[in-house]
Amino acid sequence: MAVSELPPGFVLDQPVDTGLPAGFVLDSPSMLVDAGKSVGAGLANSAAGTLGAAGDVRSLASAGVDALGGKFGISPDKIQAFKDLASRAASMTGPGAVLANAPTSQQIKATATDPIVSPDYQPQTAVGSVLKTGAEFLPAMAGGPEGLLSKFATRVAVPALTTEAAGALTKGTAAEPYARVAGALLGGVGASKVANSMTEARALKAATPALADVKSEATNAYDALTARNVATPLPQSALDNLASDITTTLNNKGIRPSNAASIHAAVDEIKMPATAGAADVVDLVAARQSIKELLGKHDTNKSGAFVALNKIEQAIEQNSPGTMKAIREADKNYAAAKAVESLDKRVAKADLRAAGEHSGMNVGNKIRQQVTTYLSSNEAKYLSAETKADLEKIVRGTASQNLVRHVANLLGGGGGLGMLAGGTAGYEAGGWPGALAGAAVGRGFKMANNRSVTRQAEQVGQNIRMRSPLGQQSPLSLPPMTNPLLGGLLPALLARPRQ
Dump the DSSP string for 402-429.
HHHHHHHHHTTTT-HHHHHHHHHHHHHH
Examine the domain organization and report whether 456 and 335 are in the same domain: yes
Query: Cα–Cα distance between 284 and 243 in angstroms, integer?
Result: 10
Instruction: Note whether residue 337 is domain-resident.
Output: yes
Instruction: Note whether residue 51 is domain-resident.
Output: no
Query: Cα–Cα distance between 429 and 71 in angstroms, integer?
Result: 47
Instruction: Note whether residue 119 is domain-resident.
Output: no
Query: Cα–Cα distance between 302 and 300 in angstroms, integer?
Result: 5
Element (H, E) at 485: helix 484-494
Instruction: Note whether residue 422 is domain-resident.
Output: yes
Examine the domain organization and report whether 366 and 456 are in the same domain: yes
Q: Looking at residue 297, what DSSP letter applies?
A: -
Examine the domain organization and report whether 393 and 449 are in the same domain: yes
Instruction: Note whether residue 285 is domain-resident.
Output: yes
Examine the domain organization and report whether 308 and 359 are in the same domain: no
CB 197 within 8 A of CB 234: no
Contacts of 224 (CB under 8 A, 6+ apart): 326
Instruction: Note whether residue 249 is domain-resident.
Output: yes
CB 278 within 8 A of CB 285: no
Examine the domain organization and report whether 257 and 370 are in the same domain: no
Tell me the DSSP string of 11-45: ---S-----PPTT--TTPPPHHHHHHHHHHHHHHH
Of 94, 113, 106, 119, the C-alpha closest to 42 is 119
Query: Cα–Cα distance between 108 and 56 in angstroms, integer?
Result: 11
Residue 237: other Cβ atoms inside 10 A: 9
Q: What is the domain range of residue 443?
A: 331-473
Examine the domain organization and report whether 387 and 264 are in the same domain: no
Q: Which residues of 29-41 are buried (b: 16+ CB within 10 A; e: fewer)?
A: eeeeebbebbbbb
pLDDT digits (tens), the chain, 499 positions:
444 444 555 444 555 454 545 544 444 557 888 888 888 877 877 776 666 566 666 666 666 666 777 777 787 777 677 666 666 666 656 555 555 666 666 666 666 655 666 777 888 888 888 898 888 888 888 877 778 888 899 889 999 999 989 988 898 898 888 898 999 999 999 888 888 888 888 888 888 899 999 999 999 999 998 888 888 899 999 999 999 999 999 999 999 999 999 999 999 999 999 998 899 999 999 999 999 989 888 899 999 999 999 999 999 999 999 999 999 999 999 999 999 999 999 999 999 988 877 566 788 999 999 999 999 998 888 789 999 999 999 999 988 888 888 777 776 554 444 444 555 554 454 454 544 454 566 677 788 888 999 999 999 999 999 999 999 987 777 777 777 887 788 888 778 776 5
Of 499, 357, 329, 361, the C-alpha closest to 439 is 361
CB 494 within 8 A of CB 101: no
Examine the domain organization and report whether 344 and 312 are in the same domain: no
Examine the domain organization and report whether 461 and 360 are in the same domain: yes
Examine the domain organization and report whether 464 and 397 are in the same domain: yes
Examine the domain organization and report whether 444 and 359 are in the same domain: yes
Examine the domain organization and report whether 385 and 410 are in the same domain: yes
CB 449 within 8 A of CB 363: no
Using the 3D structure, point to which of 319, 349, 376 is the last residue of a domain.
319
Q: What is the CA radius of gyration of the chain?
A: 37
Q: How many domains does the chain have?
A: 2
Instruction: Note whether residue 494 is domain-resident.
Output: no
Examine the domain organization and report whether 288 and 337 are in the same domain: no
Instruction: Note whether residue 213 is domain-resident.
Output: no
Contacts of 98 (CB under 8 A, 6+ apart): 54
